[in-house]
Structure 1
Amino acid sequence: MATLKVAVQKSGRLSEDSLKLFRECGIKFNNGVKKLKAQSHNFPIEFLFLRDDDIPGYVEDGIADIGIVGQNVHDEYQKNVEVVKHLGFSKCRLSLAVPREEDYQDISYFEGKNIATSYPNILKDYLKSKGVSAEVHEISGSVEIAPGIGLAEGICDIVSSGSTLLSNGLKEVETVMKSEAVMVASKSLTEDQQKLVNQLIFRINSVLEGKNNKYVLLNAPNESLDKIIELLPGMRSPTVLPLADKGWSSIHSVINEDTFWENIEQLREAGAEGILVVPIEKMIR
């Protein structure tokens, strides 16, 4: 029987988010503390816990069949693997930053200057696209210290909240790329392994769809049904049930959470009452 070997970052937020997603997909395993491997007992999958920078290479070499990495890591290492799913979590951005006191106007600031980064390939491509010639210094870890010790006039690094830049006297000035977790796969999967990947992606899609949508229940006067149904289209169409009170109905529907908040005032104006919004664990179209 085929088994999928999945490379996951061994620690950090990306690791936590990845393992949470697998558990939400109904895949049970015990990764323990500092374990380098874990086996699921209800899905043919084995987890390998690795450094995130190593994951694309392990997938390319066939040591792992699929892996979860940041889009930034995939783009930087340019390994011969295929992105099979954008996962929508662990979002961040790769940005240029300079000392706070600098009078930064535009990207031409970096012309002829030194930039420290752990992502030299992405940065060089970005500077080339902007027509800027700068010296790129590749360093690993503690990139933020580079301007303070005179190594570079600016840095290019991953930014989430921006607090690390702030604490090091830096300000974000350009977004080089936006990143999120992606699933990458080997290009030499067997037919059985590809079937397992498809099953896994099906489960992931069901979980992600559920997170992005909400189950909505409300009561409304019958004369407002057409207007409310227009605002709550549902997966195919809403469920409408008569209430004990004549002239009133209960409407059940599924709606994207963002759309719900955009329409909430119109729903109330149309006469909707007793509105309940319920999370969806899984959603299969």
Structure 2
Amino acid sequence: MNDRTPRYRDIRVGSNVLRTAVWEGKGHGRPLLFFNGIGANIELIAPLAEALSDRDIIAFDAPGVGGSPAAVLPYRPWQFARMAAGILDELGYSEVDVMGVSWGGAMAQQFAFQFASRVHRLILAATSAGFFMVPGKPAALAKLAHPRRYMNPDYMLQHFEMLYGDEQDGAHGHAKRLRAPSFRGYFFQLLAGMGWTSVPFLPFLKPDTLVLAGENDQIVPLVNGRFLASLIPGSRLEIVPGGHLFLVSRAKEVIPLIRDFLDEEPARRPFARSDFAGERRFRGTRRAGAGKPRPAA
């Protein structure tokens, strides 16, 4: 991975000041707008940003998370999408690729529908269609409802497997980058997702879409990824070993999938825009430094 230092900037969009980071790319890849998970600060995506060094990566802290002051009033997903669009306007980006993880995956869906002309490709990781999702294990969801895992890294490491269904590969580095959200910021994020669903507009999404789902996800079970992919025209579902934080624990396997999807030429895409492409299941080794994963038979 290349060591890249992001440029940080506070950007005002409406009544909110949003701490924003841009990792400047060293190539000509299309910029990637990243929507983070609930309570997650910008620094947590540093390994991904360093791996995708050929393109600009844009990320921001939600209100009350990381370095962004908490919002005065609750907000809805359509308002959060407008915040992201305001950031792109201020930074001078028009069309981008978009990626969202977990809660951020829901916001990425909203953004892709609301600002369709600005989205070229869409990646949805460990996420669901919102209200109609199949819930995860109660023990994991109970711990997810409180931001304690961000406030106490030892607590997060102790319950890592229960929370995320992952091995602890990369967990210590993840814990060191944590920055606790405010209670109000975390609560407003939870509130934003209540009652929201993307089901009515998923069939109308236009970007080529990659859905990534963890085989052992304790928070957003695999069936939710299948449901998303079945409703989004021309989407592809990749099932990866690991749980909710497979971007951390299985980075060596997942990042090549992301890079290949973003770099594919449209004429060489393995599916038609009008048809669901089905799914692929990858079985890679858990040992660091091993070869590329193989599609399962």
TM interval, short-chain normalised: under 0.3
Q: Which has the higher helix share?
A: 2
| Structure number with larger C-alpha Rg | 1
By relative contact order (CA 8 Å, sep 6+), the higher-ranking structure is 1
Q: How does the TM-score come out when normalised to structure 2?
A: 0.26
TM-score by length of 1: 0.26
Indicate the structure with greater strand content: 1
